[in-house]
């Protein structure tokens, strides 16, 4: 299968960034085709989250380009990337703690519900209609991720696994073309991981491309169509799961343990 | 029938304005009430800026000063009717907030606080120093609004105190209504989102810089109107209206009562406005008590008085 | 030329005071991540307590010592009673607490002392010294010398003594410092005591020139803060440079532009620094890690 960078939904080209002299990410390139699941794996500290942050506009890369649907979006602000169909979740959760679960999900509808400030201040029917539409959409999304009964609860009171699903719901509200998931199963127990696993598969089945950072090798090997392996900020391998899991450099980087698990 | 928080708040305010005069021992209390309402208006703006959007301003009295001096100067120098001067003051405050806000709101926390502090002090300095225009620290007379005489012609006769009490009360309810509309609206949700997590808000498409600026401008208009009403009812104003202490009072009132809620903030305004009145006998102790109150409430009742009281009343339920 | 020199002298003198206030801010900020808006009140107390004790009959040096010790104790009390209980509170709350403390101290000063302006004799007389066509008061030399000595002394303390290094370690990473056995509570107490003591020292040195009264604290606090920000919040070297810079800018503004707006110089500096160089001259740029 050729990975045509012209057809690619997301194209990362020679991306690099340094923090105070330390090259956190160096010359990383890969693509994500529409509707596929690409996983970025590598030992801790390999630069995966930094890579994510560069793609999603949180860090400005020192070198290289990011292209979304052919458009150069390198260093573009996150809210502009959101307008172009990119959304993401966070490794350490960025939930709106003092809002309810429903309100959290609703924020994902910002781009669809925003309107003139004056209308909002005056409480005009147009403003209330927009808000109500978001509420309805958000409820449907909460149902999709299994959180509909928690809608009125304060987000800060939910379990870790539930919050992970809430973030995914919020990200889906943007109707993204590509969804970046930063360790969605990290810190989750077996049951929660299973739920996230199913959710990701369902999202992918609906046609959304997914760029995934994950440590759970079983999940990665099972759902990815393409894997990119980072170590010390550089790409050391990429390809189909079967190929990558047998790559000596990859095995060496992980010191053997996790690549062996993936065969089981 | 369960009332929404919005309806409940407006009802409480309307009742407050309408019913309390029956308990006034004398006409003097209309003035105190009017002052509480004026402070309440400014403080509602702070709720939008700090409670909703999480941005600190230690210089908002600067906008109150602009609103106040617009009413003092525009009628004299530009021939504007004082009512239009209020609008002019609000427009100038909005413009200044927009200009100053764009660079300032890139800052966070203490840095934002100090930058706004600097702005407020600069405004008050100008008002103090440009004596030819503003009469400096001695203060300046403010023309009569004239609305009371109009009402009298229409058959509604109110004392000066009564007029300002109800007029300011009306503005307070209007201001609260706008702020409550904002809370649940798309703009309000975006502001609360950026308060919760700027990064996550950006990621869902919120133009954080633009939203912060909107909150800043809106709250500046609230402060400006508050300053205008103060100047018009006293028919006199000094540069202290734009001073550092006034800015601190505004923030303290809001935070004391509960910066996240309109009623809470207005409660805070009520308490801190009444404090000097209660302490007139102990005037020398005023600063001591104020400082103590500020520290104690922030240490022990972090969310502010109203949320803490409500929590106590509801018990430890969810 | 001699006019410029005159402005320079007055700028360096007042800058020395600001530098000490800035240093006080820096020490507390490093120890507790709190900007202590009551810092200026320490300066006020240094001057007022010295005047009070001296007027009551005590010799000046003893009065000054008592003032510094008492203010240092107040700093410790402030930490224990107002700052520690509010650990982890949002920035707005901490701002209100320290401003509340400032108002409280002013209120107390009004009651314990009075509302008048006070002073006490200069340390080595009032005869101005002529240098290059300009004059400088002997007390100004005390102020500048005292400030420089304080900075040098603290530099030695922080870099050469075990206790000083423990303070630095705590300000760098509190948890790590605790884990290696440093008594971080004591470090906090020490930091507040130092900061308050330094503020009081500034008040003691400056009062013969600037005079003192219950309300002078805010001005010192704001300008000292401007200096700390200009130099880079949290950097002692920055506090020194920033404080002197603000003093000089203020003196030049008063001399060449407008004496009415000389106070504005400090605030305009704050705004400029915050817009163009928020990390200050010597600060480090920080990035948010997600």
Of A74-88, A141-155, B276-290, least confident by mean pLDDT is B276-290
Are A199 and A218 found together in one domain?
Answer: yes
Are A239 and A133 found together in one domain?
Answer: no
d(CA B221, CA B48): 11
Residues of C in contact with B299 (CB under 8 A): 82, 85-86, 89, 97
Domain boundary among A130, A150, A175: A175
Q: Look up the CATH number of the domain holding residue C213.
A: 1.10.3470
Contact at 8 Å (CB) between B251 and B44? no
Q: What is the mean pLDDT of residues B128-141?
A: 90
Share of chain A above pLDDT 70, in %: 94
Residue A8 has pLDDT above 90, yes or no: no
Residue of C nearest to A52 (CA): C290
C-alpha distances (whole Å) from C142 to each of C21, C54, C145, C153, C207 are 16, 19, 5, 16, 11
Farthest-apart Cα atoms in chain A, separation? 64
pLDDT recorded at residue C286: 54
Give chain B's mean pLDDT: 91
Contact C222 B119 (CB under 8 A): no
Angle between helices B82-104 and B208-234 (to 10 degrees): 150
Q: Which residues pair with B96 in a beta bridge?
A: none
- Residue labelled with tokens 């240094």: C46
A91 and C CB contact within 8 Å:
yes
Q: What is the mean pLDDT of residues B36-54?
A: 96
Q: CB under 8 Å to C229, separation ≥6 — which residues?
A: B111, B114, C242, C270, C273, C274, C280
A7 and B CB contact within 8 Å:
no
Residues of A in contact with C288 (CB under 8 A): 58
Neighbours of A (≥3 Cβ pairs closer than 8 A)? B, C
Contact at 8 Å (CB) between A75 and A43? no
Of C100, C268, C275, the CB nearest to B298: C100
pLDDT recorded at residue A262: 54
Give chain C's mean pLDDT: 88
Contact A110 B200 (CB under 8 A): no
Task: Give B159's DSSP letter.
Answer: -
Q: Which residues pair with A28 in a beta bridge?
A: A15
Share of chain C above pLDDT 70, in %: 98
d(CA C258, CA C256): 6
pTM: 0.91
The two tokens of residue C152 are 């040098």
Residue of C nearest to B55 (CA): C92
d(CA B292, CA B127): 31
A109 and C CB contact within 8 Å:
no
Of A95, A99, A115, the CB nearest to B186: A115
Residue A156 has pLDDT above 50, yes or no: yes
pLDDT recorded at residue B180: 95
Q: What is the mean pLDDT of residues B131-141?
A: 90
Residues of A in contact with B204 (CB under 8 A): 79, 82, 87, 107-108, 110-111, 170-171, 173-174
pLDDT recorded at residue C100: 92
Structural domain count of chain A: 2
Structural domain count of chain C: 1
Beta strands, E only, chain B: 140-141, 236-237
Please provide residue A249's backbone torsions phi and psi, each rounded to the nearest 5 degrees.
-65, -40
Neighbours of B (≥3 Cβ pairs closer than 8 A)? A, C
Q: What is the mean pLDDT of residues A16-41?
A: 91
Contact B193 A107 (CB under 8 A): yes
| Range(s) of the domain holding residue C187 | 2-276
A91 occurs within a structural domain: no
| Range(s) of the domain holding residue A248 | 1-85+177-264
C-alpha distances (whole Å) from C53 to each of C47, C109, C198, C199, C215 are 10, 14, 19, 18, 19
Task: Give B2's DSSP letter.
Answer: P
Per residue in C43-60, pLDDT tens? 999 999 999 999 999 998
Of A33-42, B280-289, C128-137, C188-197, least confident by mean pLDDT is B280-289
Are A137 and A263 found together in one domain?
Answer: no
Rounding to the nearest 10 degrees, give the CA dihedral for residues C102, C108, C111, C115: -20
A76 and B CB contact within 8 Å:
no
Q: Which of A50, A49, A41, A87 is nearest to A68 (CA)?
A: A87
DSSP string, C235-261: -HHHHHHHHHHHHHHHHHIIIII-STT
User: How close is the nearest chain B Cα to the Cα of A96, in Å?
Assistant: 5
Pairing of strands B140-141, B236-237: antiparallel
Reading phi first (left if > 0) and then psi (alpha if -120 to 50, else beta), residue A69 is in left
Residue A52 has pLDDT above 90, yes or no: yes
Angle between helices B82-104 and B61-77 (to 10 degrees): 140
3-class DSSP state of B80:
coil
pLDDT recorded at residue C97: 92
d(CA B213, CA B192): 14
Are A81 and A181 found together in one domain?
Answer: yes
Mutate to test the interface with C, among B239, B259, B299, B305 (most CBs of C within 10 A): B299
A66 and B CB contact within 8 Å:
no
C163 occurs within a structural domain: yes
C287 occurs within a structural domain: no
A90 occurs within a structural domain: no
pLDDT range class, residue A5, cuts 50, 70, 90: low
Are A188 and A258 found together in one domain?
Answer: yes
Residues of C in contact with B113 (CB under 8 A): 91, 95
pLDDT recorded at residue A1: 45
Q: CB under 8 Å to A9, separation ≥6 — which residues?
A: A31, A32, A33, A34, A68, A69, A177, A178, A209
d(CA A121, CA A115): 11
The domain spans of chain B are 5-18+28-314
Contact C96 B302 (CB under 8 A): no
C285 and A CB contact within 8 Å:
no
Residues of B in contact with A120 (CB under 8 A): 181-182, 185-188
User: How close is the nearest chain A Cα to the Cα of C229, in Å?
Assistant: 23
Contact C270 B118 (CB under 8 A): yes
The two tokens of residue B245 are 């202490």
How far separated are the first and last CA of chain C, in Å rounded?
A: 55
Contact at 8 Å (CB) between A66 and A10? yes
pLDDT recorded at residue B148: 85
User: How close is the nearest chain C Cα to the Cα of A105, in Å?
Assistant: 20
C140 occurs within a structural domain: yes
Are A152 and A118 found together in one domain?
Answer: yes
C287 and A CB contact within 8 Å:
yes
Of C287, C288, C290, the CB nearest to A90: C290
Q: Look up the CATH number of the domain holding residue A236.
A: 3.40.50.300
The 3-class SS string of B89-129 reads HHHHHHHHHHHHHHHHCCCCHHHHHHHHHHHHHHHHHHHHH
Farthest-apart Cα atoms in chain C, separation? 61
Are A28 and A133 found together in one domain?
Answer: no
Kindly provide the ipTM of the predicted complex, given to two decimals: 0.89
C256 and B CB contact within 8 Å:
no
The two tokens of residue C197 are 């003591």
B299 and C CB contact within 8 Å:
yes
Per residue in A107-138, pLDDT tens? 999 999 999 999 999 999 999 999 999 999 99
Q: Which sign does the torsion angle of CA B309, B310, B312, B318 carry? A: negative
C284 and A CB contact within 8 Å:
no
Q: CB under 8 Å to A185, separation ≥6 — which residues?
A: A164, A192, A193, A196, A197, A214, A215, A216, A219
B5-18+28-314 belongs to which CATH class? mainly alpha
A248 occurs within a structural domain: yes
pLDDT range class, residue A64, cuts 50, 70, 90: very high
Contact A92 C290 (CB under 8 A): yes
User: What's the count of helices (H) and strands (E) in chain A, helices before strands?
Assistant: 12, 10
C286 occurs within a structural domain: no
Residue A51 has pLDDT above 90, yes or no: yes
Q: What is the mean pLDDT of residues B221-247?
A: 95
Residue C289 has pLDDT above 60, yes or no: no
CA A160 to chain centre: 17
Contact pairs from chain A to chain B, CB under 8 Å: 112
- Residue labelled with tokens 């994950």: A214
User: How close is the nearest chain C Cα to the Cα of A20, in Å?
Assistant: 10
């Amino acid at each position: 299968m050729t990975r045509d960078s012209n057809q690619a939904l997301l194209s990362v080209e020679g991306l690099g960034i340094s923090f105070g002299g330390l090259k956190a990410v160096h010359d990383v390139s890969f693509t994500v085709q529409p509707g596929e699941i690409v996983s970025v794996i590598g030992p801790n500290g390999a630069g995966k989250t930094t890579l994510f942050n560069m793609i999603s506009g949180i860090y400005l890369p020192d070198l290289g380009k990011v292209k979304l649907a052919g458009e150069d979006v390198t260093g573009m602000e996150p809210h502009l990337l959101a307008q172009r169909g990119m959304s993401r979740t966070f490794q350490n959760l960025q939930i709106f703690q003092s809002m309810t679960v429903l309100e959290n999900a609703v924020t994902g509808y910002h781009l669809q519900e925003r309107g003139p400030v004056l209308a909002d201040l005056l409480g005009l029917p147009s403003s209330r209609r927009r808000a109500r539409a978001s509420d309805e959409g958000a409820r449907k999304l909460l149902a999709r991720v299994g959180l509909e009964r928690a809608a009125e609860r304060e987000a800060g009171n939910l379990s870790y696994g539930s919050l992970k699903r809430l973030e995914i719901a919020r990200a889906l509200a943007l109707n993204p073309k590509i969804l970046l998931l930063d360790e969605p199963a990290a810190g989750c127990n077996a049951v929660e991981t299973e739920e996230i696993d199913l959710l990701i598969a369902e999202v992918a089945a609906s046609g959304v491309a997914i760029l995934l950072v994950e440590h759970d090798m079983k999940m990665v090997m099972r759902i990815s169509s393409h894997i990119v392996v980072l170590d010390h900020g550089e790409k050391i391998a990429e390809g189909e799961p079967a190929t990558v899991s047998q790559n000596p450099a990859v095995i060496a980087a992980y010191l053997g343990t996790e690549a062996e698990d993936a065969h089981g | 029938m369960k009332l929404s928080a919005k309806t409940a708040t407006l009802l409480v305010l309307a009742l407050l304005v309408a019913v309390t005069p029956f308990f006034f021992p004398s006409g003097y209390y209309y003035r105190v009430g009017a002052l509480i309402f004026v402070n309440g208006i400014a403080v509602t703006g702070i709720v939008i800026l700090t409670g909703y959007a999480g941005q600190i301003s230690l210089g908002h009295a600067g906008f109150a000063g602009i609103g106040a001096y617009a009413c003092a100067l525009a009628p004299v120098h530009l021939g504007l009717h004082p009512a239009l001067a209020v609008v002019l003051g609000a427009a100038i405050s909005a413009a200044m907030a927009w200009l100053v806000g764009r660079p300032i709101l890139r800052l966070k926390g203490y840095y934002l606080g100090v930058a706004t502090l600097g702005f407020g002090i600069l405004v008050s300095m100008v008002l103090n120093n440009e004596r030819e225009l503003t009469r400096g620290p001695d203060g300046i007379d403010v023309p009569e609004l004239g609305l009371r005489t109009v009402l009298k012609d229409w058959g509604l006769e109110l004392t000066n105190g009564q007029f300002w009490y109800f007029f300011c009360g009306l503005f307070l309810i209007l201001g609260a209504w706008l702020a409550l509309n904002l809370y649940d609206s798309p703009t309000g949700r975006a502001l609360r989102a950026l308060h919760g997590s700027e990064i996550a808000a950006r990621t869902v498409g919120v133009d954080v810089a633009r939203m912060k600026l909107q909150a800043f401008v809106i709250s500046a208009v609230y402060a400006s109107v508050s300053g205008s009403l103060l100047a018009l009812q006293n028919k006199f104003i000094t540069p202290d209206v734009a001073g550092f202490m006034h800015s601190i009072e505004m923030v303290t009132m809001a935070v004391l009562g509960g910066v996240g809620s309109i009623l809470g903030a207005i409660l805070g305004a009520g308490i801190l406005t009444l404090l000097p009145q209660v302490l007139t006998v102990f005037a020398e102790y005023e600063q001591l008590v104020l400082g103590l109150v500020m520290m104690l409430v922030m240490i022990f009742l972090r969310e502010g008085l109203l949320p803490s009281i409500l929590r106590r009343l509801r018990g430890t339920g969810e | 030329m001699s006019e410029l020199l005159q402005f320079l002298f007055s700028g360096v003198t007042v800058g020395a005071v600001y530098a000490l206030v800035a240093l006080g801010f820096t020490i507390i900020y490093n120890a507790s991540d709190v900007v202590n808006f009551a810092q200026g009140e320490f300066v006020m107390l240094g001057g007022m307590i010295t005047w009070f004790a001296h007027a009551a009959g005590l010799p000046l040096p003893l009065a000054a010592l008592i003032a510094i010790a008492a203010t240092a104790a107040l700093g410790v009390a402030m930490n224990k009673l107002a700052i520690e209980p509010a650990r982890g509170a949002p920035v707005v709350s901490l701002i209100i607490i320290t401003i509340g403390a400032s108002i409280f101290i002013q209120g107390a000063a009004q009651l314990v002392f009075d509302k008048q302006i006070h002073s006490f004799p200069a340390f080595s007389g009032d005869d101005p010294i002529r240098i290059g066509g300009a004059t400088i008061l002997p007390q100004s030399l005390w102020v500048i010398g005292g400030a420089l000595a304080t900075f040098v002394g603290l530099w030695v303390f922080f870099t050469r003594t075990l206790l000083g290094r423990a303070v630095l370690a705590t300000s760098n990473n509190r948890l790590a410092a605790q884990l290696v056995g440093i008594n971080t509570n004591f470090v906090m107490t020490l930091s507040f005591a130092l900061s308050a003591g330094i503020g009081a020292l500034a008040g003691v040195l400056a009062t013969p020139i600037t005079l003192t009264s219950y309300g002078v604290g805010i001005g010192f606090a704001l300008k000292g803060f401007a200096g700390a920000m200009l130099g880079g919040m949290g950097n002692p070297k920055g506090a020194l440079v920033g404080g002197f810079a603000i003093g000089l800018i203020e003196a030049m503004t008063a001399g060449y532009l407008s004496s009415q707006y000389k106070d504005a110089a400090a605030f305009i500096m704050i705004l400029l620094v915050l817009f163009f160089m928020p990390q200050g001259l010597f600060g480090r740029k920080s990035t948010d890690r997600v």
